[in-house]
Amino acid sequence: MIEQTPKSFLGFDFSTQRLKAVLIDENYVVRQEADVEFDVDLPEFRTSGGVVRGERGEVTAPPLLWVKALDMVMDRLVLAGVDFSTVEAVSGAAQQHGSVWWTKGSEDKLKNLSSEDFLHIQLASVFAADSPVWMDSSTSADCRALEEAVGGPEELAKVTGSRAYERFTGPQIRKMYRTRPRLYNATERISLVSSFACSLFLGKYAPIDLSDGSGMNLLDIHSMKWCEEALKACGDEDLVNKLGTPVPTASVVGNISKYFVERYGFKSTCKLVAFTGDNCSALAGLRLRSGWVGLSLGTSDTLLLGLQEARAPPAGHILVGPTADAPYMALLCFSNGSLTRQNHRDRLVGPSWDDFNELLRSTVRGNMGYMGIYYDTAEIVPRAVSGRWLWDASGKPLEKVAPQFETRALLETQALARRAHAEDMAFRLDKSSRIVATGGASVNKELLQIFSDVFNTPVYIQEQHANAALLGAAIRAADVWSDHVGLKLSGSELKVSPVATPYSDAENIYTPMMKRYRELVQQVPTLC
Ligand code: XUL
């Protein structure tokens, strides 16, 4: 009898605060996981929440931190006993929009890595700058200039799927070109965090994928090519070469590099599937059906919806979809998600979610009319400055309310904001709708109950894993590999189970509150 060799697939998630890895088998069952937390495991980079903040809205991360985290996570997988020779394909997800600036000669270094040494030692001098990341809000002037150059915000949204946003890579590149021309000129390649991470495995520059590439304000999402006018507005004639040609997300981009074969025992035929943005990966991982909403509760909160066609959005973004099932996807990103919830939990009750939830349970749904907007970091949807605003039932602004009312005001108003802005983007919920929740905070049942009531829709969670972006990376590795080699895998359908259903009075409570949210949010100063 011929023994069948087991097959496995490896996924990575280069997220804001940590690097995670997951190994699944051919039945898509999770076999092994490893995780590196940047602030805790790599304190020498002095990050807080994985980033370094400047004085004028600049938020960056040192790319060498991510390289060192990869060395570490690989060692943790080795210690966990992973047999890399069974891995047929690797893929990854990464925080969106961040850019990695490689100096001239970097690709040669990538091609000639010695398997005797750590990556971070060999790549210590390849980065031209710290990487601006998605929390950066320092490029407002560049956004306005880009919009103007292509005929206004609506026109830019029509072509690239989004108006100009501070964190999008095009405005970030424009700022670098304008303020640090020497650095721009010394740059051989600009990667997204996703294509940078893929390059580490590939041993040469990996292409940007179309889905994450549509988070740059530079890609024409209809022709799937770079938009020449947008490129011209953000850099010089060499920018197109610095970016390379984008590829469909469901692409095999090559075999894993010799470094990984020699150092970790991967087989030389192990395929690399294009890495993509975390939200794009989550959509693939959640296998969303039409009418379902993906709700990712991470550092930021994100709503995801698979779309058949691209409609220009008033706010939020249309991206090229990561799979053939969803040619396009809608994305709404609220920058104040878990980190903000956690900050206020710490302030109100200390570091325990149980204590926070106990206080929350001492209040009633609707919170006797108390509402609050908490933006610890400048908000993306709606574009607004950081700050905290509280109101009583009559709409009177308050400086302070009792902590129990704050707990509920924080969560209810967040959920109301998610629904209001989704509706503004023509998201329509119906009887068959579901919210499929994922991300770290999706384990918090109290929070999910609030979302269920506010959306008046049942909330499901993915049974297998709370992190859809990470699991999505491994699933994409398996799906794209199986298409590539023409071998069907017994990969399972998405398994989800309901965790919260709306109470019968949900609509009566939250419809008027939705109206109030729309009025109150007008009082918050917009980011100019
Ligand atoms: C999406 C966005 C964030 C990051 C977080 O547009 O900026 O969700 O991808 O990792």
Considering only CA atoms, which residue is closest to atom 10 of ligand 1? 95
pTM of the model: 0.86
For the CA of 331, the nearest atom of ligand 1 = 6
- Which one of 302, 304, 336 would you pick to mutate in the ligand 1 pocket, going by the greatest count of ligand atoms within 8 A of its CB? 302
How far does residue 279's CA lie from ligand 1's centre (Å)? 7
How far does residue 241's CA lie from ligand 1's centre (Å)? 25
Q: In terms of Cα–Cα distance, which of 486, 71, 462, 63 is closest to 294?
A: 462
- Tokens read off for 120: 């971070």
Sign of CA dihedral 128, 134, 139, 143: positive
Map 167-234 to HEC letters. Answer: CCHHHHHHHHHHHCHHHHHCEEEEEEHHHHHHHHHHCCCCCCEHHHHCCCCCEECCCCEECHHHHHHH
In this structure, what DSSP letter does residue 51 have? B
For the CA of 97, the nearest atom of ligand 1 = 7
- Tokens read off for 314: 């008033």
**Tokens 């919920």, located at residue:** 429
Helix 338-348 to helix 353-361 angle, to the nearest 10 degrees? 80
Percent of the residues in the chain that have a pLDDT greater than 70, as a whole number: 97
Same fold, 8-279 and 286-463+495-528: yes
In this structure, what DSSP letter does residue 288 have? P
Q: Give the domain ranges of the chain.
A: 8-279, 286-463+495-528
226: Cβ below 6 Å to ligand 1?
no
In this structure, what DSSP letter does residue 43 have? G
Backbone angles phi, psi at 318, to 5 degrees: -110, 125
15: Cβ below 6 Å to ligand 1?
yes
> In a 3-state reduction of DSSP, which class is residue 47?
coil
300: Cβ below 6 Å to ligand 1?
yes
Q: Where are the alpha helices (DSSP H) in 425-467?
A: 445-455
Which pLDDT score is estimated for 422? 83
Which pLDDT score is estimated for 285? 83
Low-confidence ranges of the chain (pLDDT < 50): 1-2
How far does residue 136's CA lie from ligand 1's centre (Å)? 11
- Which one of 14, 38, 278 would you pick to mutate in the ligand 1 pocket, going by the greatest count of ligand atoms within 8 A of its CB? 278
For the CA of 16, the nearest atom of ligand 1 = 10
For the CA of 302, the nearest atom of ligand 1 = 8
3.30.420.40, 3.10.180.10, 3.50.50.60, 3.40.50.10890: CATH of 8-279:
3.30.420.40
Which pLDDT score is estimated for 492? 54
Q: Is the CB of residue 481 less than 8 Å from the CB of residue 350? A: no
Stretch (H or E) spanning 74: helix 63-79
- Tokens read off for 101: 């600036």
Q: In this structure, which amino acid lies at residue 50?
A: G
Which pLDDT score is estimated for 3? 52
Q: Is the CB of residue 389 less than 8 Å from the CB of residue 416? A: no
Q: Is the peptide bond before 382 cis (omega within 30 degrees of 0)?
A: yes
Say yes or no: domain 286-463+495-528 is CATH 3.40.50.970: no
**404-440 tens-digit pLDDT:** 999 999 999 999 999 998 888 766 787 888 999 988 8
- Tokens read off for 3: 């023994």
Which pLDDT score is estimated for 325? 74
Considering only CA atoms, which residue is closest to atom 7 of ligand 1? 134
97: Cβ below 6 Å to ligand 1?
yes
How far does residue 167's CA lie from ligand 1's centre (Å)? 9
Which pLDDT score is estimated for 307? 75
Backbone angles phi, psi at 293, to 5 degrees: -120, 130
- Tokens read off for 430: 């119906």
